Amino acid sequence: MALTTDRLGLATLRRLPAQCRPLLRPGTVPAGIVHLGLGAFHRAHQAVHTEAAVGAAGGDWGIIGIAPRSTAVVDALAGQDHLFSVTTLAAEGAATRVVGALAGVRHAASDPQAVVRLLADPAIRVVTLTVTEKAYQLDPVTGTLRTDPELIADLTTDRAPRTVPGLLLRGLLARAAADAGPVALVSCDNLPANGRRLRGLIGQVLARARVPDGPAGWIDAHVGFPGTMVDRIVPAATAATLDTARRALGVRDLAAVAAEPYSQWVIEDDFPAGRPAWERAGATLTGDAGPWERLKLRTLNGVHSATAYLGALAGAETVAETLALPGLDAVLRRLVAEDVAPSFTPPSGVSVPAYGEQVLARFANPAIRHRTLQIAMDGSQKLPQRILHTIVDLRAAGRSAHWAALVVAAWLRFVRGHADDGRPLPLDDPLADRLRTALTAVPDTPAGVVDAVFAVGEVFPAALAADEEVRADVVGWLTALERHGVRATLAGAR
């Protein structure tokens, strides 16, 4: 039997270079948080802020991380005592550090009851979520609960829950039955008014599952839903990410992630049973995260999606590569200054164009290889809060939305499935079938495509779909993209 291992874990911590060691040693901080969604973003964001908060101010705030579906991340973390590293990638160089925030991991799909028990545990006082937009199972435009058969089965039968809303329902019912004390449910997904969305989701779930007044009233009285704005660019980990971590640590880390240096977290301070001292770890605690969340979704994520669709169509693999397309810079700046900035009121003291400049500098980080196709995924779930709300608000104020219309056109061309050089593009989207069906029955012209997709009411608000000026702008851009391609369209954009 080998006595030494080359894998990250408690046994190898002492071998790590001093600057790579974690602030906390797993096993020493009891769990107070359950986190749903163990992806790269959580590991590089909430886990890092929480470790720093506990390091600075203490508290029983270890995190039990739940992977809804992936077994790979659970196996990787379980095999290394829940330790993982984050490599911060700056143009000047990389720095790797191990994070000790996780107190445990679980796989929801194979052991949903363990998750339900955790949600009903009085020691757990905060439940955070990074499960992606689509897992909320809400219609992006209206916030109405979907009728997905898996979800309905979770809400109307006794079977073990398979969906995120199903897990939350069972967990909250078990918590109410045990009278296990108040808890905060904290959405950290890029949804508009994410706290209110999650509250709306739980309300609809309780109604759909016909939960009696007793437990429903308990949940209403004991669960808080603080809204948040989360921000850090964390591309999916690749073999290169693992190689970099190994070189820095001297041991293998199969759960390594890499991220940009920037990290921001704005949190509404509505925690009925306490929280880590995140303000000691760089987070902003506030009464209303709304202005921050609109700033970030419309500027950063709006420009990200614009870059992703235009880049994918032009054959660019990464965001940084896309930014080198001649003319794109100018178009993105006009999108921010002329369309995004006048569409909403930013947090006091924040200039949207200046924030936009900072965003473009972050996107240009050459050390981050963020794939356009990763960001292009799930467009139907992202476009409303990133671009369409901007258009609706501009139009309500009597303004045009010319540059935002280009983003819609780029998405439509992406949905059509071919890049400028004819190569197929994948449509990875929960509404893929619905979009494809909408497109089969129409004349194969830009106007036909726009009319067909604008009629998809889950994505396009009625006010926008009925707006002749917006329609004409989108048809104009789509015509240019289809006839001349992204490069020529950008070169001639005005």
Interface contacts to ligand CS2, rule CB under 6 A: 190, 231-233, 301, 304, 374-375, 382
CA distance 78 to 46: 19
Nearer to ligand CS2, 223 or 283 (CB): 283
Nearer to ligand CS2, 309 or 403 (CB): 309
What is the smallest separation between the CB atom of 171 and ligand CS2, expressed in angstroms? Answer: 26
**Coil, helix or strand for 446?**
helix
What is the smallest separation between the CB atom of 81 and ligand CS2, expressed in angstroms? Answer: 28
What is the smallest separation between the CB atom of 182 and ligand CS2, expressed in angstroms? Answer: 29
What is the smallest separation between the CB atom of 217 and ligand CS2, expressed in angstroms? Answer: 36
Nearer to ligand CS2, 301 or 365 (CB): 301
Nearer to ligand CS2, 190 or 390 (CB): 190
Structure tokens at 450: 């726009």
Q: Whole-angstrom distance between the N-terminal and C-terminal Cα of the chain?
A: 69
**Coil, helix or strand for 24?**
coil
What is the smallest separation between the CB atom of 375 and ligand CS2, expressed in angstroms? Answer: 4
Contact 409, 474 (CB under 8 A): yes
Nearer to ligand CS2, 12 or 263 (CB): 263
Nearer to ligand CS2, 204 or 301 (CB): 301
Which stretches of 317-434 are assigned E, i.e. beta strand? none
What is the smallest separation between the CB atom of 58 and ligand CS2, expressed in angstroms? Answer: 28
What is the smallest separation between the CB atom of 297 and ligand CS2, expressed in angstroms? Answer: 8
Distances (CA, A) of 438 to 213, 406, 474: 41, 21, 17
Residue sitting closest to ligand CS2 (CB)? 304
What is the smallest separation between the CB atom of 417 and ligand CS2, expressed in angstroms? Answer: 19
How far is CA 171 from its chain centroid? 23
Contact 107, 67 (CB under 8 A): yes
Nearer to ligand CS2, 13 or 375 (CB): 375
Which residues, at least 6 apart from 444, have a Cβ–Cβ distance to it below 8 Å? none
CA distance 380 to 430: 8
Residue 327: count of CB within 10 angstroms of its CB: 15
CA distance 456 to 322: 29
Strands 183-187 and 84-90 come out as unpaired
Task: Please classify residue 396 by burial: count the beta carbons closer than 10 Å to its beta carbon, then call 0-12 exposed, 13-18 middle and 19+ buried.
Answer: exposed
Nearer to ligand CS2, 231 or 268 (CB): 231
CA distance 253 to 243: 9
Q: Where are the alpha helices (DSSP H) in 6-111?
A: 40-44, 46-57, 71-78
What is the smallest separation between the CB atom of 416 and ligand CS2, expressed in angstroms? Answer: 20
Nearer to ligand CS2, 83 or 138 (CB): 138
